[in-house]
Amino acid sequence: MGPSYKDYYSTLGVSKTATEKEIKAAYRKLARKHHPDVNPGNKGAEDKFKEISEANEVLGDTEKRKKYDQYGDQWKAYSQGGSGFPSGATAGGGFPGGQRVDFGGGFPGDLSDLFGTLFAEQFRQGSAPSGGQQQTRRTVNFGGSGDPFGMPAPTSRDLESELRLSLEDAYNGGTKGISIQVPTGRYDLDRGGRSTELRRVDVKIPAGVGEGQKIRLGGQGVNGGDVMLTVRLLAHSSFERKGDDLIVEVSLSYTTAALGGEMKVPTIEGKTLTVKLPAGTQSGQQLRLTGKGMPKLKEGGHGDLYARIKITVPKVLSERERALLTELAGGLA
């Protein structure tokens, strides 16, 4: 292996039997101590950070660690398709050629995550690790022009969110303006995490959309990715949805139920329909109003509306009502 053999275990201060969790913990501890931002202008700290990053890049990857344990410093020569730490990389001065570096241990080439783990608390307190003065809002760009680390711009990524709709919104469809939080390519030093921007978008809602269905917003995610909205329908005070059908409870006097007559049925459109009832209508009985339910997304047309009967009994009776009911009750006895 020669005198130039690099003992990655020694570099991280762990044993050869160390677990993945122990390696990750050791790396984070050393990275916090030797990061160039904590030691500005210290070339020794910069070189040390490079060494521990290289060690973690190997030991933090199961396959690379296996080859390293087997072949030592020559593991790259025996590895097919493996990739070592890029030549000429510097921890604080950028990675030549815009290379993406897998730091291992949960930091796949994204120093914003590394900052979030190592320095979030210092940033939240308003003092940068290098001793800078407090500012109202500080961000660091990761990717693109002005990136202090030379990292490539973040890849596109889809986002998921929920879209809460009233039953009327789902019935009518149309366009609804909403606001979504989208991560940016910048790191918020004061909050200790990725910065986000509030983006106002218009969502086209198909009439008849249902609970749990997805609406895609093309190009509204991270760097041109999409936003997938899951529809959540809000409970309605009067109507209950069952697939494409609607159910509404309608109160009916006991006299109308017994003798028959007319009943007023509300619709989701805000209209009222008059329905004729047969004598002897029972409480809990459902009357079907064809085509008065929700729009059907695929087949076209509408579902049905069911009026569920609820017979009401007056709490206070007039003298005549009481006498007639008493007479009726006696005649039935």
Structural domains for the chain = 8-109 (1.10.287.110), 159-184+195-233 (2.60.260.20), 239-313 (2.60.260.20)
Confidence band for 1, pLDDT divided at 50, 70 and 90: very low
* Residue among 307, 330, 311, 314 nearest 258 (CA): 311
Which has more pLDDT, 65 or 80?
65
Residue 9 has pLDDT above 80, yes or no: yes
| Lowest mean pLDDT across 90-104, 221-235, 255-269, 306-320 | 90-104
The residues facing 272 across adjacent strands are 266
* Residue among 115, 112, 120 nearest 183 (CA): 112
Query: Residue 57: helix, strand or coil by DSSP?
Result: helix
Determine the pLDDT at residue 115.
46
Confidence band for 188, pLDDT divided at 50, 70 and 90: low
Which has more pLDDT, 267 or 329?
267
| Highest mean predicted confidence (pLDDT) among 20-29, 30-39, 112-121 | 20-29
Determine the pLDDT at residue 291.
96
Determine the pLDDT at residue 273.
96
pLDDT, averaged across the chain: 77
> Is the overall model pTM greater than 0.85, yes or no?
no
DSSP letter for 110, please: -
Determine the pLDDT at residue 135.
46
Residue 168 has pLDDT above 90, yes or no: yes
Residue 329 vs residues 39, 321, 325, 326, 332: alpha-carbon distances, Å:
96, 12, 6, 5, 5
Determine the pLDDT at residue 185.
67
Determine the pLDDT at residue 270.
93
Residue 313 has pLDDT above 90, yes or no: no
Determine the pLDDT at residue 210.
95
Q: What is the mean pLDDT of residues 63-88?
A: 61
Q: What is the mean pLDDT of residues 6-28?
A: 90
Which has more pLDDT, 12 or 144?
12
DSSP 181-245: EEEEEEEETTTTEEEEEEEEEEEEEPTT--TT-EEEETT-SBTT--EEEEEEEPPPSSEEEETTE
